[in-house]
Amino acid sequence: MSAEQPVGDKPVNGSDMGSGIDKVDFVESNTVPQHDSLSRQLKNRHIAMISIGGVIGTGLFLSTANSLRHGGPVGLLLGYMAVGSICYSVMISLGEMVSYLPIPGGHIKLAERFVDPAFSFTMGWNYWYNWTIVLPAELSAAAVLIDFWDKKTSLNSAWVTICLIVVIAINFMGAGAYGEAEFVFASIKVITITGLIILGIILDLGGGPDHDRLGFRYWKNPGPFVQIFGITGAKGRFLGFWTVLTQAGFSFIGTEIVAIAAGEAKNPRRNLPKAIRRVYIRILLFYIGGVTIIGLLACLGSGTAAASPFVIAIKRSGIKALPQIINAALLTSAWSAASSDLYTSSRALYGLAIAGNAPVIFSRTLRNGLPVFNWFANMTSIAGLLTWFGISYTYIRFHAGMKAQGIDRQTLPFSSPLQPYAAWYAAIFCIVICVFNGWSVFLHGQWDTANFITSYFPVLLFPILYIGARYWKRVPPVEPSEMDFYTGLAEIEASTYDEPPPKNRAEAIWQWLVKLARKATMQARDVCGTD
């Protein structure tokens, strides 16, 4: 192969770039008619807030209490740091692909291009399966949060129904309405978690009404780690830390939703790279910063609204009205996450349909570009880690194809110098965590059939789906030299434009905030020496 060429110089099949999709025969039979395509309604601010605050739900605000109980404050922090590094590796892998090819179906369709149709089939159904189980989980959490005010748990089914109706209504109004709702919800979440971190620091330093300075008190007693199941020594501490990894995965899963939104993003070539570069804010500030404060406050709970580490710390310090406000913010968080869950599962089903892996009726859209869909749920968060594995492996193949065809990655809208090593790191550790996530059921006297099934059913389902799809489709993996990097590129490049000036004061303030964030990103990049 000759020296590396910039993207767009020459299509791999030798066709003229201006010929568009018509002269490219890649998965031609699966091309969706124009009237059944998604509409690009998501603006820059929508994509920005989806990437920063989207899908942050009960995993961070409530489930961290269980992680703290199992791993201790340091085990909690190390577990979230480990999963955060995997998440970042996945996102820069995904960002490089989806910024170049922001097509409907996101990583599901990209897997078809760069691996094989069977892998796309497996990725798509696993992803849809994942988000259909998270949806009822978030709705149930919303009902539990309402129980903070209304102790009549018999009404929980009514609260779930009301929340579900609102979530469905938001999604049926189209991607634009979803983007606006998520912008508001995500903004509330960002303000809430930022405020809780600041408040946590104040309380830890004795600034609360009780003036009790905690410092690192709970890192000393009961200690930085938990000897899980009473297992003594380093083994017990390590197993406690390992338990946190799976629970942390539940909190981080959903960061990749920006890929699903790529097919409906306005000006994707410009807006998606910006969103990917902001992911580190989500990881460092919200997750790492949040669990650090939780570890300092060292509040253990049972996973209910009243047992949120933040709520317990606030009540213990003597602040009376604030827990009510925080619980209301947590309720909007669960509501927002549920809306994102429904959005993601419907677009995953759409991506399956346009790839020929689901009934064609699911590729039909309404006049506003909205997919028609149904769903049912039965899944655990392990499917999310398997999705990350699939994204990482797809990128490894994408990278190999770029190299084989002499395409210069530096000409892409987004690229990272950490590749392909970051993708290999994420792929390997996602599998390792999945394989050993249910280790506790193998301890003497700890067998739990339900826990075993929820831990390992997705792990077994993934290869079964792939092997079955390979047998059904009988299409071999795509050779790197034959990968299609050009289908749909003309439409994507045509939708790229310079951002217009702000129309009003609100948009001007938003652009000012974005510029500040961009400046901070560049400064952090200069310090760290990364892209």
Work out the average pLDDT over 317-336: 77
Which one is predicted more confidently, 179 or 473?
Answer: 473
Tokens 């996102």 identify what position? 91
Q: What is the mean pLDDT of the chain?
A: 74
- The band of 350, judged by pLDDT with boundaries at 50, 70 and 90, is low
Residue 280 scores a pLDDT above 80:
no
Q: Is the pLDDT of residue 193 over 50?
A: yes
Return the higher-pLDDT residue of 514 and 186. 186
Give the bridge partners for 365, in sequence order: 371
Taking alpha carbons only, the member of 306, 297, 285 closest to residue 68 is 297
Give 75-100 pLDDT, tens digit per residue: 999 999 999 999 999 999 998 998 88
Residue 331 has pLDDT above 50, yes or no: yes
Least confident of 71-80, 161-170, 471-480: 161-170
Does pLDDT of 521 surpass 60?
no
**What proportion of the chain, given as a percentage, has pLDDT over 70?**
66
Instruction: Considering only residues 408 and 286, tell me which one the structure prediction assigns the higher pLDDT.
Output: 408
Average pLDDT over residues 431-444: 86
Q: What is the pTM of this model?
A: 0.77
pLDDT on residue 3: 42
Higher local confidence (pLDDT), 299 or 120: 120
Q: How sure is the predictor about 443, in pLDDT bands with cuts at 50, 70 and 90?
A: confident
As beta bridge partners, residue 371 has 365
Examine the pLDDT at 239 and tell me if it is beyond 70: yes
Longest dimension (CA), the chain: 73
Residue 6: the pLDDT is 47
**H-run or E-run covering 507:** helix 505-528
Between 491 and 30, the more confident residue is 491
Question: What is the model's pLDDT at position 119?
Answer: 94
Give CA torsion, residues 315, 320, 324, 330, to 10 deg. Answer: -40
Mean of the pLDDT values across residues 182-190? 77
State the DSSP code for 287: I
Average pLDDT over residues 204-223: 83
Question: How confident is the model over 1-17, as a mean pLDDT?
Answer: 41
- Which of 217, 240, 245, 219 shows the shortest CA–CA distance to 229? 240
Mean pLDDT over residues 424-439, rounded?
92
Could you read off the pLDDT of 380-402 as tens digits, one per residue? 578 889 999 999 999 999 999 99
Residue with tokens 């049926």: 172
pLDDT of the residue at 213: 84
In the predicted structure, residue 227 carries a pLDDT above the cut 70: yes
Which of 233-237, 419-423, 517-521 comes out lowest in average pLDDT?
A: 517-521
Q: Tell me how far apart the alpha carbons of residues 95 and 103 are, in angstroms, rounded to a whole number.
A: 13
DSSP symbols for 358-379? S-GGGG-B-TTSPBP-------
Q: Which residue type is seen at 66?
A: N
- pLDDT at position 309 is 77
Beta pairing partners, 42: 265
What are 257-271's pLDDT values in tens digits? 776 666 566 677 777
Q: How far is CA 21 from CA 6, 17, 137, 291, 393, in A?
A: 20, 9, 41, 48, 26
